[in-house]
Structure 1
């Protein structure tokens, strides 16, 4: 099955590990629904599109399977996994537990320069054109990564990145419909306000509220896109 995607395939940097680059590029395409749940992925076709050998493609597929984004069906091939509500809920639970501790730690380490930087990120988020879902998702990730860096917990963010792929697919579907980006940005601002006030309880409450937003949109999204979700037992 040929890969039908609307965007040009990005070039691979030969100086960087190829499998890692392929994993990130394919992960992004799956999250942004360039590769839709249930779609077949061919090692040969991906290798041809990116002008690489099949070995790094195979390695990238293994990492994508570990992230819960693809599945290998014996004698049939590799397919993009449908979104599993339980996996989304598990990822959200883990992410909230980690990021609640991140902001609690950030309260003691944040300084004036960091607050200025966070507010600049929020201003950038507000300037992103409506409909630029990929742009907003990237800005949102930068904001949360920065919180971890301020707290001195960069590894915590790497753990979050490992577990949140299924959650990201739902978040991407929610933009422009089930979830208002204005609401999300306002929630970011309340987190920064709490950090600036050095109010640990308020900061934790703000990030927990923010990360529970998906609980409101998930049922609506699953009902609107049943073909993208794994049928519940």
Structure 2
């Protein structure tokens, strides 16, 4: 870690800045790992992270433990801490669990969404569609807002929080896949189909639209593993 991008991330992110020292370190590191600024296989220095974030080593140590729990880093006794390679098996497991939860959420959303809820979702899609194709960061920010909004209108905010750890593995693949392996217009179209089903009150159609959308990451994985073999493991 030769640059101070962790401190830049923390300064730019109000949520990170407002958190406790341990959460601030965790959030900044998670964001850097997901955005591949800390690439799979990279060593992490407790001292260097603490310096960049302006905190003591204890909260960084706590952050490393939390990151290990969500499968983003590996702590090797006597050897150090390393960003984990992207596990194909863990991505599939995360996708499987996320699908089960999000289909249940969208099913309920289709049964109770109001016109105002639908308009909110369409506004997010419009923002996504207007983005420059290279603006991966904002595209994924809006993608997260889209799914979180569905959870909110279904009154399933707690279920969304449960998904936080599951998304860790998938988020790295999603970031890596844009825009080449997964064209942005494909995702935008999938979002529109989900909202069309919600607006129609068709829970079964919403289920299927969400299933197709969440399978998109599996379509991208083989291409990415072939293109970036050094970033993946079985």
1:141 to 126, 130, 144: 144
Aligned to 1:10: 10
Alpha-carbon distance in structure 2 between the residues aligned to 1:101 and 1:83: 27
**TM-score normalized by the length of structure 1:** 0.94
**Residue 95 (structure 1) aligned with residue 98 (structure 2):** yes
Alpha-carbon distance in structure 1 between the residues aligned to 2:2 and 2:86: 20
| Higher share of residues assigned helix | 2
**Residue 120 (structure 1) aligned with residue 120 (structure 2):** no
Residues paired across the two proteins, number: 230
Shift of 1:107: 1.4
Q: Is contact 1:5-1:35 (8 Å) kept?
A: no
Alpha-carbon distance in structure 1 between the residues aligned to 2:66 and 2:227: 29
Superposition pairs for residues 1-233 of structure 1, below 5 Å? 2-4=1-3, 8-11=8-11, 16-230=19-233, 232=234
| Counterparts in 2 of 1:5 and 1:218: CA distance versus 1, 3 Å | farther
**TM-score normalized by the length of structure 2:** 0.94
Runs of 4+ in 1 over 6 A off after TM superposition: none
Alpha-carbon distance in structure 1 between the residues aligned to 2:19 and 2:162: 22
Q: Is contact 1:3-1:41 (8 Å) kept?
A: no
For residues 1-22 of structure 1, what are the alpha-carbon distances to aligned partners after superposition, in whole Å with 9 as ceiling and x for unaligned? x444667342387753111122
Alpha-carbon distance in structure 2 between the residues aligned to 1:164 and 1:15: 22
| Counterparts in 2 of 1:76 and 1:99: CA distance versus 1, 3 Å | same
Structure 2's unaligned 5+ residue stretches are: none
Q: Is contact 2:40-2:85 (8 Å) kept?
A: yes
